[in-house]
Structure 1
Amino acid sequence: MAEYRLLNQFYEKDHRARLIKHDQVLPILRPRTHDWSQVMVYDHRYTPLLQRAGLHVIANLVRRGMPTFNPAALTALIDRWRPETHGFHLPCGEMTITLQDVAMLLGLPIQGNLVIGPAVSDGWRERVEQFLGTQLEVREEGRHGRVSGVRLLWLRAIFGSCPDDADEATVTFHGRAWVVLHMFGSVLFPDGMGDSASWMYIHCLHDWDEAGGYSWGSAVLSFLYRQLCEACRRHTPNST
Protein backbone atom coordinates (compact mmCIF):
# COMPACT_ATOMS: atom_id res chain seq x y z
CA MET A 1 0.00 0.00 0.00
CA ALA A 2 1.65 3.19 -1.20
CA GLU A 3 0.58 5.34 1.74
CA TYR A 4 2.51 3.10 4.16
CA ARG A 5 5.67 2.54 2.15
CA LEU A 6 7.63 4.60 4.68
CA LEU A 7 7.05 2.05 7.44
CA ASN A 8 9.53 -0.77 7.85
CA GLN A 9 8.41 -4.26 8.73
CA PHE A 10 9.04 -3.84 12.46
CA TYR A 11 6.45 -1.08 12.76
CA GLU A 12 4.26 -1.90 9.78
CA LYS A 13 2.73 -5.09 11.14
CA ASP A 14 1.18 -3.61 14.28
CA HIS A 15 1.00 0.10 13.51
CA ARG A 16 -2.37 1.49 14.59
CA ALA A 17 -2.85 3.35 11.31
CA ARG A 18 -2.53 0.18 9.25
CA LEU A 19 -4.90 -1.76 11.51
CA ILE A 20 -7.46 1.04 11.32
CA LYS A 21 -7.07 1.01 7.53
CA HIS A 22 -8.10 -2.66 7.67
CA ASP A 23 -11.31 -1.73 9.54
CA GLN A 24 -10.13 -2.73 13.02
CA VAL A 25 -11.71 -0.70 15.81
CA LEU A 26 -8.96 0.23 18.28
CA PRO A 27 -9.48 1.71 21.76
CA ILE A 28 -8.70 5.31 22.63
CA LEU A 29 -5.35 5.58 24.39
CA ARG A 30 -5.04 7.11 27.84
CA PRO A 31 -2.11 9.14 29.20
CA ARG A 32 -0.07 7.59 31.99
CA THR A 33 0.61 10.88 33.71
CA HIS A 34 -1.38 11.54 36.89
CA ASP A 35 -1.75 14.72 38.89
CA TRP A 36 -0.21 14.31 42.35
CA SER A 37 0.58 18.00 42.84
CA GLN A 38 -1.70 18.21 45.89
CA VAL A 39 -0.13 15.11 47.49
CA MET A 40 3.53 15.89 46.84
CA VAL A 41 3.43 19.50 47.98
CA TYR A 42 5.99 21.84 46.49
CA ASP A 43 7.91 23.85 49.07
CA HIS A 44 9.37 27.29 48.30
CA ARG A 45 12.62 26.17 49.95
CA TYR A 46 13.21 23.86 46.96
CA THR A 47 13.38 26.79 44.54
CA PRO A 48 17.03 27.85 45.15
CA LEU A 49 18.11 24.24 44.74
CA LEU A 50 16.15 23.79 41.52
CA GLN A 51 17.54 27.03 40.13
CA ARG A 52 21.02 25.59 40.52
CA ALA A 53 19.86 22.46 38.69
CA GLY A 54 18.15 24.36 35.85
CA LEU A 55 14.79 22.78 36.73
CA HIS A 56 12.97 25.67 38.40
CA VAL A 57 10.84 26.62 35.38
CA ILE A 58 9.44 23.14 34.76
CA ALA A 59 9.02 22.67 38.53
CA ASN A 60 6.86 25.80 38.63
CA LEU A 61 4.64 24.29 35.91
CA VAL A 62 4.40 20.87 37.56
CA ARG A 63 3.54 22.20 41.00
CA ARG A 64 0.51 24.02 39.56
CA GLY A 65 -1.01 20.69 38.56
CA MET A 66 -1.29 18.82 35.29
CA PRO A 67 -3.41 20.22 32.45
CA THR A 68 -6.52 18.46 31.23
CA PHE A 69 -5.68 15.94 28.51
CA ASN A 70 -7.89 15.09 25.55
CA PRO A 71 -7.40 11.31 25.01
CA ALA A 72 -9.22 11.34 21.67
CA ALA A 73 -7.01 14.11 20.26
CA LEU A 74 -3.85 12.45 21.60
CA THR A 75 -4.88 9.12 20.06
CA ALA A 76 -5.54 10.76 16.69
CA LEU A 77 -2.02 12.20 16.71
CA ILE A 78 -0.43 8.92 17.79
CA ASP A 79 -2.22 7.10 14.97
CA ARG A 80 -0.35 9.39 12.56
CA TRP A 81 3.05 9.12 14.24
CA ARG A 82 5.83 7.76 12.04
CA PRO A 83 8.78 6.26 13.95
CA GLU A 84 11.21 6.52 11.00
CA THR A 85 10.96 10.30 10.89
CA HIS A 86 9.82 11.00 14.48
CA GLY A 87 6.99 13.11 13.19
CA PHE A 88 3.25 13.25 12.65
CA HIS A 89 2.15 12.70 9.05
CA LEU A 90 -0.96 14.87 8.72
CA PRO A 91 -3.15 15.69 5.72
CA CYS A 92 -1.71 19.21 5.76
CA GLY A 93 1.90 18.00 5.91
CA GLU A 94 4.43 16.77 8.45
CA MET A 95 4.85 18.10 11.97
CA THR A 96 7.14 17.17 14.82
CA ILE A 97 8.19 18.25 18.31
CA THR A 98 11.58 19.95 18.39
CA LEU A 99 14.15 20.84 21.00
CA GLN A 100 13.10 24.46 20.60
CA ASP A 101 9.56 23.47 21.59
CA VAL A 102 10.89 21.76 24.70
CA ALA A 103 12.96 24.78 25.65
CA MET A 104 10.17 27.29 25.04
CA LEU A 105 7.25 25.34 26.51
CA LEU A 106 8.94 23.56 29.43
CA GLY A 107 11.87 25.85 30.14
CA LEU A 108 14.31 22.94 30.18
CA PRO A 109 17.97 23.39 29.19
CA ILE A 110 18.78 21.78 25.83
CA GLN A 111 22.55 22.16 25.99
CA GLY A 112 24.99 20.39 28.26
CA ASN A 113 25.88 16.86 29.27
CA LEU A 114 23.86 13.86 28.18
CA VAL A 115 21.53 12.40 30.80
CA ILE A 116 23.18 9.01 30.90
CA GLY A 117 24.81 6.87 33.55
CA PRO A 118 24.95 3.44 35.15
CA ALA A 119 21.70 1.49 35.45
CA VAL A 120 23.00 -1.33 37.63
CA SER A 121 20.29 -2.86 39.78
CA ASP A 122 22.65 -4.37 42.35
CA GLY A 123 22.68 -2.18 45.43
CA TRP A 124 19.92 0.14 44.19
CA ARG A 125 18.22 0.21 47.62
CA GLU A 126 21.37 1.40 49.35
CA ARG A 127 21.88 4.11 46.75
CA VAL A 128 18.30 5.35 47.05
CA GLU A 129 18.45 5.32 50.86
CA GLN A 130 21.61 7.43 50.75
CA PHE A 131 19.97 9.75 48.22
CA LEU A 132 16.83 10.22 50.34
CA GLY A 133 18.44 10.04 53.77
CA THR A 134 16.00 7.41 55.04
CA GLN A 135 15.44 3.68 54.96
CA LEU A 136 13.13 2.35 52.29
CA GLU A 137 10.12 0.20 53.09
CA VAL A 138 10.55 -3.57 52.89
CA ARG A 139 8.52 -5.04 50.03
CA GLU A 140 7.76 -8.64 49.26
CA GLU A 141 8.75 -9.82 45.82
CA GLY A 142 5.72 -10.14 43.61
CA ARG A 143 3.67 -7.67 45.69
CA HIS A 144 2.87 -4.06 44.77
CA GLY A 145 4.34 -4.32 41.26
CA ARG A 146 8.07 -4.37 40.63
CA VAL A 147 10.52 -4.59 43.48
CA SER A 148 13.34 -2.49 42.01
CA GLY A 149 11.60 0.85 42.38
CA VAL A 150 10.40 3.27 45.02
CA ARG A 151 6.69 2.75 45.73
CA LEU A 152 4.86 6.01 45.13
CA LEU A 153 2.40 5.59 47.99
CA TRP A 154 5.29 5.22 50.43
CA LEU A 155 7.14 8.14 48.82
CA ARG A 156 4.15 10.44 49.19
CA ALA A 157 3.55 9.37 52.76
CA ILE A 158 7.14 10.14 53.79
CA PHE A 159 7.97 13.12 51.56
CA GLY A 160 4.51 14.55 50.86
CA SER A 161 5.36 17.82 52.60
CA CYS A 162 8.54 19.26 54.05
CA PRO A 163 8.35 20.04 57.81
CA ASP A 164 8.32 23.73 58.71
CA ASP A 165 11.28 23.29 61.06
CA ALA A 166 13.34 21.18 58.63
CA ASP A 167 17.08 21.75 58.57
CA GLU A 168 19.08 22.19 55.37
CA ALA A 169 19.75 18.47 54.94
CA THR A 170 16.08 17.57 55.35
CA VAL A 171 15.05 20.19 52.79
CA THR A 172 17.60 18.72 50.39
CA PHE A 173 16.25 15.19 50.82
CA HIS A 174 12.66 16.34 50.34
CA GLY A 175 13.68 18.38 47.32
CA ARG A 176 15.41 15.38 45.78
CA ALA A 177 12.33 13.23 46.37
CA TRP A 178 10.07 15.84 44.79
CA VAL A 179 12.24 16.24 41.70
CA VAL A 180 13.59 12.79 40.89
CA LEU A 181 10.90 10.48 42.20
CA HIS A 182 7.87 12.74 41.71
CA MET A 183 8.45 15.18 38.86
CA PHE A 184 10.68 12.82 36.88
CA GLY A 185 8.89 9.57 37.76
CA SER A 186 5.30 10.80 37.45
CA VAL A 187 5.47 13.61 34.87
CA LEU A 188 8.58 13.84 32.69
CA PHE A 189 9.62 10.18 32.51
CA PRO A 190 6.53 8.12 33.43
CA ASP A 191 6.45 4.42 32.65
CA GLY A 192 3.90 1.63 32.70
CA MET A 193 4.49 0.69 36.34
CA GLY A 194 2.15 3.18 37.94
CA ASP A 195 2.95 2.16 41.51
CA SER A 196 6.71 2.83 41.41
CA ALA A 197 9.19 5.55 40.55
CA SER A 198 12.47 4.73 38.88
CA TRP A 199 15.76 5.25 40.70
CA MET A 200 17.81 5.51 37.49
CA TYR A 201 18.06 9.31 37.57
CA ILE A 202 19.29 9.77 41.13
CA HIS A 203 22.97 9.88 40.15
CA CYS A 204 22.22 13.04 38.17
CA LEU A 205 21.00 14.97 41.20
CA HIS A 206 23.48 14.19 43.96
CA ASP A 207 24.93 17.65 43.36
CA TRP A 208 22.53 20.47 42.43
CA ASP A 209 25.20 22.44 40.59
CA GLU A 210 26.34 19.45 38.54
CA ALA A 211 22.69 18.74 37.73
CA GLY A 212 22.53 22.15 36.08
CA GLY A 213 25.03 20.94 33.50
CA TYR A 214 22.70 18.32 32.02
CA SER A 215 20.64 18.72 28.86
CA TRP A 216 17.35 17.80 30.50
CA GLY A 217 15.36 18.96 27.48
CA SER A 218 17.15 16.51 25.19
CA ALA A 219 16.42 13.67 27.60
CA VAL A 220 12.73 14.55 27.86
CA LEU A 221 12.35 14.83 24.08
CA SER A 222 14.16 11.53 23.48
CA PHE A 223 11.94 9.83 26.05
CA LEU A 224 8.83 11.30 24.40
CA TYR A 225 9.94 10.07 20.96
CA ARG A 226 10.50 6.58 22.33
CA GLN A 227 7.12 6.48 24.04
CA LEU A 228 5.33 7.68 20.89
CA CYS A 229 7.09 4.99 18.87
CA GLU A 230 5.76 2.41 21.31
CA ALA A 231 2.30 3.98 21.57
CA CYS A 232 1.69 3.92 17.81
CA ARG A 233 1.73 0.11 18.04
CA ARG A 234 -0.26 -0.12 21.28
CA HIS A 235 -3.72 -1.64 21.11
CA THR A 236 -4.74 -1.27 24.75
CA PRO A 237 -6.25 1.87 26.34
CA ASN A 238 -3.10 2.78 28.31
CA SER A 239 -0.43 4.81 26.55
CA THR A 240 2.38 7.15 27.64
Structure 2
Amino acid sequence: MTPTLQDVAMLLDLSITGDAVGPRVVPFTWLEDLEERFAGVATTIDPEDFNEHPQSKGPSKSWLLQFQPDLLAADADDYSVTRSLEAYLLWLFGYIMFNNSHGHCADRVLLPYAQEIADADEDAIPLYSWGSAVLACTYRGLCKASRQNDRNAVLTWCPILLQLWSYERIAIGRPMIDQSPYTQDMYGDTKGDRPTIGTLWYSQQVWTQ
Protein backbone atom coordinates (compact mmCIF):
# COMPACT_ATOMS: atom_id res chain seq x y z
CA MET A 1 0.00 0.00 0.00
CA THR A 2 1.52 3.29 -1.09
CA PRO A 3 0.42 6.78 -2.22
CA THR A 4 -0.53 6.95 -5.89
CA LEU A 5 -1.27 9.66 -8.44
CA GLN A 6 -4.95 9.18 -7.69
CA ASP A 7 -4.27 9.98 -4.02
CA VAL A 8 -2.39 13.14 -4.98
CA ALA A 9 -5.20 14.30 -7.27
CA MET A 10 -7.96 13.53 -4.76
CA LEU A 11 -6.26 14.77 -1.61
CA LEU A 12 -4.36 17.82 -2.87
CA ASP A 13 -6.22 18.60 -6.11
CA LEU A 14 -2.92 18.88 -7.96
CA SER A 15 -2.80 18.35 -11.69
CA ILE A 16 -1.37 15.04 -12.87
CA THR A 17 -1.32 16.10 -16.51
CA GLY A 18 0.80 18.68 -18.24
CA ASP A 19 4.50 19.29 -18.72
CA ALA A 20 6.99 17.57 -16.44
CA VAL A 21 8.50 19.51 -13.54
CA GLY A 22 12.25 19.20 -13.31
CA PRO A 23 15.46 21.10 -12.56
CA ARG A 24 16.13 24.16 -14.66
CA VAL A 25 19.32 26.03 -15.32
CA VAL A 26 19.29 29.06 -13.02
CA PRO A 27 21.74 31.86 -13.89
CA PHE A 28 24.44 32.63 -11.33
CA THR A 29 22.96 36.14 -11.10
CA TRP A 30 19.66 34.79 -9.70
CA LEU A 31 20.10 36.63 -6.40
CA GLU A 32 20.70 40.01 -8.00
CA ASP A 33 17.81 39.40 -10.41
CA LEU A 34 15.51 38.48 -7.52
CA GLU A 35 16.35 41.55 -5.45
CA GLU A 36 15.99 43.82 -8.46
CA ARG A 37 12.60 42.30 -9.30
CA PHE A 38 11.29 42.87 -5.77
CA ALA A 39 12.95 46.24 -5.15
CA GLY A 40 9.88 48.24 -6.13
CA VAL A 41 7.31 46.25 -4.13
CA ALA A 42 5.39 48.58 -1.82
CA THR A 43 4.84 47.04 1.63
CA THR A 44 3.73 48.43 4.98
CA ILE A 45 6.84 47.25 6.83
CA ASP A 46 10.34 48.57 7.23
CA PRO A 47 12.66 46.50 5.02
CA GLU A 48 15.22 46.54 7.85
CA ASP A 49 12.88 44.34 9.88
CA PHE A 50 13.55 41.59 7.35
CA ASN A 51 17.25 42.02 6.84
CA GLU A 52 18.05 38.34 6.51
CA HIS A 53 19.61 38.02 3.10
CA PRO A 54 18.53 35.24 0.74
CA GLN A 55 20.85 32.28 1.18
CA SER A 56 23.18 30.94 -1.47
CA LYS A 57 20.90 27.97 -2.12
CA GLY A 58 17.72 30.02 -2.52
CA PRO A 59 15.57 32.78 -1.00
CA SER A 60 15.11 32.37 2.74
CA LYS A 61 11.71 31.94 4.36
CA SER A 62 12.01 35.15 6.39
CA TRP A 63 12.84 37.08 3.21
CA LEU A 64 9.78 35.67 1.44
CA LEU A 65 7.45 36.45 4.35
CA GLN A 66 7.96 40.20 4.00
CA PHE A 67 5.86 40.03 0.82
CA GLN A 68 2.75 38.50 2.38
CA PRO A 69 -0.50 39.93 0.94
CA ASP A 70 -1.56 41.46 4.25
CA LEU A 71 1.73 43.40 4.36
CA LEU A 72 1.18 45.02 0.98
CA ALA A 73 0.38 48.70 0.98
CA ALA A 74 -3.30 49.54 0.60
CA ASP A 75 -2.57 51.28 -2.69
CA ALA A 76 -0.18 48.59 -3.97
CA ASP A 77 0.03 48.50 -7.75
CA ASP A 78 -0.43 45.44 -9.96
CA TYR A 79 3.31 44.84 -10.12
CA SER A 80 3.56 44.60 -6.32
CA VAL A 81 0.62 42.17 -6.26
CA THR A 82 2.29 40.04 -8.93
CA ARG A 83 5.55 39.88 -6.98
CA SER A 84 3.60 39.00 -3.83
CA LEU A 85 2.12 36.07 -5.75
CA GLU A 86 5.59 35.01 -6.85
CA ALA A 87 6.81 35.08 -3.23
CA TYR A 88 3.80 33.02 -2.14
CA LEU A 89 4.45 30.44 -4.85
CA LEU A 90 8.08 30.12 -3.76
CA TRP A 91 6.94 29.60 -0.18
CA LEU A 92 4.34 27.04 -1.30
CA PHE A 93 6.86 25.15 -3.43
CA GLY A 94 9.72 25.28 -0.94
CA TYR A 95 7.91 24.64 2.34
CA ILE A 96 4.79 22.62 1.47
CA MET A 97 5.18 20.74 -1.79
CA PHE A 98 8.93 20.17 -2.05
CA ASN A 99 10.53 20.31 1.38
CA ASN A 100 14.29 20.21 1.03
CA SER A 101 17.32 19.58 3.20
CA HIS A 102 18.21 23.29 3.18
CA GLY A 103 15.57 23.84 5.86
CA HIS A 104 15.73 27.65 5.91
CA CYS A 105 15.26 28.47 2.24
CA ALA A 106 13.44 27.48 -0.92
CA ASP A 107 15.56 25.84 -3.60
CA ARG A 108 16.61 28.31 -6.28
CA VAL A 109 15.64 25.84 -9.06
CA LEU A 110 12.02 26.74 -8.23
CA LEU A 111 12.51 30.41 -9.08
CA PRO A 112 11.74 30.12 -12.82
CA TYR A 113 8.46 28.28 -12.15
CA ALA A 114 7.21 30.83 -9.63
CA GLN A 115 8.12 33.79 -11.85
CA GLU A 116 6.63 32.19 -14.95
CA ILE A 117 3.29 31.50 -13.25
CA ALA A 118 3.10 34.90 -11.54
CA ASP A 119 3.81 36.82 -14.75
CA ALA A 120 1.44 34.78 -16.94
CA ASP A 121 -1.97 36.06 -17.97
CA GLU A 122 -4.88 34.42 -16.17
CA ASP A 123 -5.93 32.50 -19.29
CA ALA A 124 -2.37 31.48 -20.19
CA ILE A 125 -0.99 30.00 -16.97
CA PRO A 126 1.37 27.15 -17.91
CA LEU A 127 0.12 23.67 -17.02
CA TYR A 128 2.56 21.43 -15.22
CA SER A 129 2.09 17.99 -13.68
CA TRP A 130 2.59 19.18 -10.11
CA GLY A 131 0.95 16.04 -8.74
CA SER A 132 3.50 13.80 -10.43
CA ALA A 133 6.36 15.98 -9.16
CA VAL A 134 5.07 15.95 -5.57
CA LEU A 135 4.64 12.17 -5.64
CA ALA A 136 8.13 11.64 -7.08
CA CYS A 137 9.61 14.00 -4.47
CA THR A 138 7.81 12.11 -1.71
CA TYR A 139 9.06 8.72 -2.96
CA ARG A 140 12.60 10.06 -3.13
CA GLY A 141 12.36 11.53 0.36
CA LEU A 142 11.04 8.28 1.82
CA CYS A 143 13.81 6.33 0.09
CA LYS A 144 16.50 8.62 1.49
CA ALA A 145 14.98 8.62 4.98
CA SER A 146 14.92 4.83 5.10
CA ARG A 147 18.67 4.74 4.52
CA GLN A 148 19.74 7.51 6.90
CA ASN A 149 21.16 6.84 10.35
CA ASP A 150 21.48 10.47 11.41
CA ARG A 151 18.89 11.34 14.06
CA ASN A 152 18.96 14.97 12.93
CA ALA A 153 18.33 14.18 9.28
CA VAL A 154 15.87 16.50 7.52
CA LEU A 155 12.98 14.73 5.82
CA THR A 156 12.52 15.90 2.22
CA TRP A 157 9.05 15.21 0.91
CA CYS A 158 5.49 16.53 0.98
CA PRO A 159 4.42 15.80 4.58
CA ILE A 160 0.83 16.91 4.13
CA LEU A 161 0.37 14.28 1.40
CA LEU A 162 1.49 11.46 3.68
CA GLN A 163 -0.59 12.76 6.56
CA LEU A 164 -3.81 12.95 4.55
CA TRP A 165 -3.05 9.65 2.81
CA SER A 166 -2.67 7.93 6.17
CA TYR A 167 -6.00 9.39 7.33
CA GLU A 168 -7.70 7.94 4.26
CA ARG A 169 -6.04 4.53 4.26
CA ILE A 170 -5.19 3.70 7.89
CA ALA A 171 -7.83 3.71 10.61
CA ILE A 172 -5.38 3.78 13.51
CA GLY A 173 -4.37 7.23 14.76
CA ARG A 174 -6.51 9.33 12.45
CA PRO A 175 -8.94 11.98 13.76
CA MET A 176 -12.64 11.36 14.02
CA ILE A 177 -14.62 13.16 11.33
CA ASP A 178 -17.93 14.96 11.53
CA GLN A 179 -19.93 12.95 9.01
CA SER A 180 -22.66 15.54 8.49
CA PRO A 181 -22.89 16.49 4.79
CA TYR A 182 -21.45 19.79 3.67
CA THR A 183 -23.53 22.33 1.79
CA GLN A 184 -22.44 24.03 -1.38
CA ASP A 185 -22.64 27.49 0.17
CA MET A 186 -19.88 26.47 2.58
CA TYR A 187 -17.33 26.52 -0.22
CA GLY A 188 -18.85 28.63 -2.97
CA ASP A 189 -20.66 27.88 -6.19
CA THR A 190 -17.79 27.61 -8.64
CA LYS A 191 -16.02 24.37 -9.49
CA GLY A 192 -12.69 25.70 -8.25
CA ASP A 193 -14.15 26.32 -4.78
CA ARG A 194 -15.38 22.79 -4.26
CA PRO A 195 -13.57 20.99 -1.44
CA THR A 196 -10.98 18.33 -2.01
CA ILE A 197 -10.83 15.29 0.24
CA GLY A 198 -7.95 17.01 2.01
CA THR A 199 -10.11 20.09 2.63
CA LEU A 200 -12.80 17.95 4.22
CA TRP A 201 -10.30 16.27 6.52
CA TYR A 202 -9.08 19.61 7.81
CA SER A 203 -12.43 21.41 7.97
CA GLN A 204 -14.57 18.67 9.53
CA GLN A 205 -12.13 16.88 11.79
CA VAL A 206 -12.66 16.32 15.49
CA TRP A 207 -9.31 15.48 17.02
CA THR A 208 -9.18 12.56 19.43
CA GLN A 209 -7.33 12.90 22.71
Q: Normalization by structure 2: what TM-score?
A: 0.57
Is 1:172–2:82 an aligned residue pair?
yes
Residues 1:224 and 1:134: Cα distance change in structure 2 (over 3 Å): farther
1:187-226 pair list within 5 angstroms:
187-205=96-114, 206=116, 207-208=119-120, 211-226=125-140
- Aligned positions of 1:91-240 closer than 5 A: 95-120=1-26, 122-129=28-35, 132=38, 139=53, 146-159=55-68, 161-180=71-90, 182-205=91-114, 206=116, 207-208=119-120, 211-235=125-149, 236-238=151-153, 239-240=155-156
Q: Which residue pairs with 2:169 in the alignment?
A: none
Distance 2:99 2:62 in 1: 15
The structural deviation recorded for 1:192 is 1.6
Sequence identity percentage: 35
For these two proteins, the number of residue pairs brought into alignment is: 140
CA distance in 1, matches of 2:21, 2:63: 26
Give the Å deviation of 1:219. Answer: 0.9
Deviation (angstroms), 1:212: 3.6
CA distance in 1, matches of 2:102, 2:76: 32
Corresponding residue SS for 1:221? helix
Question: Do the aligned partners of 1:110 and 1:217 also contact (CA within 8 Å) in 2?
Answer: yes
Deviations 1:136-187 (A, max 9, x none): 9685xxxx9x52321222222344633332111111100110112x111111
Deviation at 1:108, TM superposition (A): 0.5
What is the correspondence of 1:64-75 to structure 2 with a 5 Å cutoff?
none
Please give the alpha-carbon distance, in whole angstroms, between the structure 2 residues aligned to 1:120 and 1:158.
22
What is the TM-score of this pair, normalised by structure 1?
0.51
* Letter in structure 1 aligned against 2:100: D
Deviations 1:83-120 (CA, angstroms, capped at 9, x unpaired): xxxxxxxxxxxx11111110110000100001135233
Mapped partners of 1:130, 1:225: distance in 2: 36
For the structure 1 residues 166 and 105, does the alpha-carbon distance in structure 2 shift closer, same or farther, using more than 3 Å as the test? Answer: same
> In the TM superposition, what are the counterparts of 1:69-84 in structure 2 within 5 Å?
none
- CA RMSD between the two structures: 2.8
Say if 1:121 and 1:148, in contact at 8 Å, map to a contact too: no
* Conserved 8 A contact 1:112-1:215: yes
Q: Encode CA deviations 1:25-70: one digit per residue, 9 max, x unaligned.
A: xxxxxxxxxxxxxxxxxxxxxxxxxxxxxxxxxxxxxxxxxxxxxx
Structure (1/2) with the larger helix percentage: 2
* Separation of aligned partners in 2, 1:111 and 1:104: 14
Paired with 2:7 and 2:73, the residues of 1 have a C-alpha distance of 36
User: In 1, distance between residues paired with 2:31 and 2:57?
Assistant: 8
- CA shift, 1:215, in A, is 0.8
CA contact (8 A) 2:19 2:127 kept: yes
Q: Which has the higher contact order (CA 8 A, sep 6+)?
A: 1
Which residue does 1:40 correspond to in 2?
A: none
